[in-house]
Structure 1
């Protein structure tokens, strides 16, 4: 069976700071909602679908050493990566070309201590 990511949750220590960080680096607005007692800043794709979120509370603990989530940095990785430090994050691995023209990746640590990765064709 093949699979794909259908939802993700990025843990936060300071929810407002985390939402602001991701809104800044992706130059967008997250849809903030409370799902039960869990506040979420929801990422919406181009078709208007919820795809994942920044979340706070419960079992969620930021971590730099867990699974690495790759977020789409289309139309270009440089613009998103260029806003990471100014937004309070830290670049761990700068832009790196993938083989066979599969695009580029980079890794950063967000304001909450999560290692997150980026991927884009350019």
Structure 2
């Protein structure tokens, strides 16, 4: 059995601020939803409309630069996404780095909530 990411959740203290950041960095719109009134989420979707993860907040989850590192698809050109990180309020933690054996490029950044998140793209 192959393993793939089924869902991810990125912690926030301020969901509105975090959603603005990720919408600016990825030049997209996130879908706002809530399981309950106390559990709002901003949903990431693939091009086909499939939900793949979200921004969320609450007492049970804490933004952090330590812990699990999620790599988000930067699309065809990682540099275009990297260029939007700082203007959107984030910080580049690991600049564009080429992986060996033609595996593409990565970058790590700190979002507006204090999470360390990563990017991957082939170019």
Query: Equivalent residue for 1:19?
Result: 19
CA contact (8 A) 1:26 1:80 kept: yes
Give, in angstroms, the shift of residue 2 of structure 1.
Answer: 3.6
1:52-108 deviation line (CA, Å, top 9, x unaligned) = 001111311001011110000012100111110110000000000001111000000
CA contact (8 A) 1:38 1:58 kept: no
* Structure 2 gap ranges (5+): none
SS of the aligned residue for 2:101 comes to helix
SS of the aligned residue for 1:6 comes to coil
Query: Equivalent residue for 2:84?
Result: 83
TM-score by length of 1: 0.97
Moved over 2 A (4+): none
Aligned length: 122
C-alpha separation in 2, matches of 1:119 and 1:99: 13
Query: Equivalent residue for 2:30?
Result: 30
The alignment's C-alpha RMSD in Å is 0.9
